[in-house]
Structure 1
Amino acid sequence: MAEQLSFDLPAKPVLGRDDFFVSPANALAVAMIDSPQTWPGGKLVLTGPGGAGKTHLTHVWAAQTGAQILAAVDLSRQEIPLLAQGPVAVEDVPDIASDAPAQNALFHLHNLLMAQGQRLLMTGRLAPNLWNLSLPDLQSRVQGAAHITLDAPDDKLLAAVLAKLFADRQITPKPDVIPYLLHRMDRSFLDATRIVERLDRAALAQGRTLSRRLASESLEADDTND
């Protein structure tokens, strides 16, 4: 069968509160995001592996509070006093471990937010004591924040993540596809993302509905090529 022309269109993630599936693996993190008034000292560190839902929960919190969201690497280019007038989420803080200007900006932002009774959400993959920020005063303040982690996914959560990733790409797989994938994939969000991208390409290239047979053929072909 000749392959059809396919276009690598970007997925459109849906980041609303109702689109976030709550399971035992993330229930505590969701509860903390939903109640920022309970954060000790007005700050929270949210950690977890790639694709665990940190960005989704950050957007949920920002929608609820009117917070601004910034990548840590962009902080040195911001007007910090202006930014500190409302709640702020800073993503991927470990990325600035050797970036002195960005660390100084985050330190200044932290102090202004705390002085003004605002809220600060910071994210990263590893626990904050492993962020190795070169500015000791900033590292100590990060470690002084309440810390919540998104745990590895259970089957219900991983199934929901797969369904959401397919929906983001406007794909409706056959009902037996996700149960099949759960028994074939690594227990990680990154592998879920990788598999959905792979199956999307295969379905587009072959002009076929995403069925268990197509999933099996695609995964077996990839295993052979590895």
Structure 2
Amino acid sequence: MRDPGPPRQLTFDLPLDPRYGREDFLVGPANEAAYGLIEAWPDWPETVFLLTGPPGSGKSHLASIWATRAHAWTIPAAEVSAANVTHLASNGALVIEDIDRAASRDEAALFHLLNLARERRHPVMITSAVGVDSLGLAVADLRSRLRLALGATILPPDEALLRAVIVKLFVDRQLVVDLSVVEAVALRIDRSLGRARAVVTELDRDALGRGRRITKPLALAVLARLGMTDPAGDDDAE
């Protein structure tokens, strides 16, 4: 009779609170320009700062660091409306997150808000996964204003930053893994911090469900299931 192996455990997708402190942000060539502008505040030459980068690249982390320094409010772009523009513009510094995700965004309200903030010298930080020209903005004045904004783009991470972030993601989940696990993940995923986060989440869920610690063989099995194999073709080598 086939051994069913250790019993699988129930897993619960409990929310993991990410640590968004300044000391938790890992700086590398991919993000040092953006981080430098955050550090340069309040000596910005423009009122509006547009931060772009792919999902999971650290935009929200940088926005949180700046919001703490500037005592800024934070609001999703989708929630900016004609009804709250005056209120938002009257309360000092502001972070507007994910302007690219706001399919029903009120572009006229956003433009009005940026105008009011500029008049009152209140800094505004806007995050987006894509550049201005890819936002599909219908209001030309808003498009022009964002093109004139102070800007920085977070680039794909280099190998050193990717490995450091993978380690941090395990540490954030209070998971102790061998460096061979980190290497296995780093070698098989594309250079994306968002992908690294997704893979570590899947490894954590799988290990918890199996009642096992995360080892390299387990990591290789999960990565293979996700369609991520070693480019050298030696996944079976130990």
Normalised to the residue count of structure 2, the TM-score between the two structures is 0.87
1:14 aligns with 2:19: yes
Alpha-carbon distance change, 52 to 167 in structure 1, aligned in 2, over 3 angstroms: same
Structure 1 spans left out of the alignment, 5+ residues: none
| Corresponding residue number in structure 2 for 1:179 | 183
Residues 76-120 of structure 1: CA deviation (Å, up to 9, x unaligned): 175222221301111111234663xx2122111101111111101
DSSP 3-state at the match of 1:76: coil
Q: Quote the Cα distance in structure 2 between the aligned partners of 1:107 and 1:119.
A: 14
Q: Quote the Cα distance in structure 2 between the aligned partners of 1:213 and 1:206.
A: 13
DSSP 3-state at the match of 1:4: coil
Alpha-carbon distance change, 36 to 213 in structure 1, aligned in 2, over 3 angstroms: same
| Corresponding residue number in structure 2 for 1:90 | 96
5 Å matches for 1:27-38? 27-38=32-43
Q: 2:70 aligns with which of 65, 69, 89?
A: 65
Shift of 1:167: 2.8
Q: 2:118 aligns with which of 114, 119, 134?
A: 114
Instruction: Select the structure that is richer in helix.
Output: 1
Q: Quote the Cα distance in structure 2 between the aligned partners of 1:97 and 1:103.
A: 10
Q: Quote the Cα distance in structure 2 between the aligned partners of 1:89 and 1:120.
A: 6
Residues 154-204 of structure 1: CA deviation (Å, up to 9, x unaligned): 112111221232233232222321122111111112221221121011110
Q: Quote the Cα distance in structure 2 between the aligned partners of 1:182 and 1:168.
A: 17
Alpha-carbon distance change, 129 to 97 in structure 1, aligned in 2, over 3 angstroms: farther
Q: Quote the Cα distance in structure 2 between the aligned partners of 1:39 and 1:152.
A: 25
Normalised to the residue count of structure 1, the TM-score between the two structures is 0.91
Which aligned segments of 4 or more residues in structure 1 are displaced greater than 4 angstroms? none
Structure 2 spans left out of the alignment, 5+ residues: 229-238
1:154 aligns with 2:144: no
8 Å CA contact 2:78–2:103 kept in 1: the answer is no
8 Å CA contact 2:20–2:65 kept in 1: the answer is yes
Q: 1:138 aligns with which of 130, 137, 142?
A: 142
Alpha-carbon distance change, 176 to 144 in structure 1, aligned in 2, over 3 angstroms: same
Residue 115 of structure 2 aligns with an amino acid whose one-letter code is N
1:79 aligns with 2:90: no
Q: 1:4 aligns with which of 2, 9, 22?
A: 9
DSSP 3-state at the match of 1:37: coil
Residue 24 of structure 1 aligns with an amino acid whose one-letter code is P
Shift of 1:69: 0.8
1:42 aligns with 2:47: yes
| Corresponding residue number in structure 1 for 2:232 | none
Residues 18-51 of structure 1: CA deviation (Å, up to 9, x unaligned): 0000111111100101122232221111001110
Residue 77 of structure 2 aligns with an amino acid whose one-letter code is A
Q: 1:205 aligns with which of 209, 233, 236?
A: 209
Residue 113 of structure 1 aligns with an amino acid whose one-letter code is A
DSSP 3-state at the match of 1:217: helix
| Identity among equivalent pairs (%) | 38
DSSP 3-state at the match of 2:176: coil
8 Å CA contact 1:13–1:168 kept in 2: the answer is yes
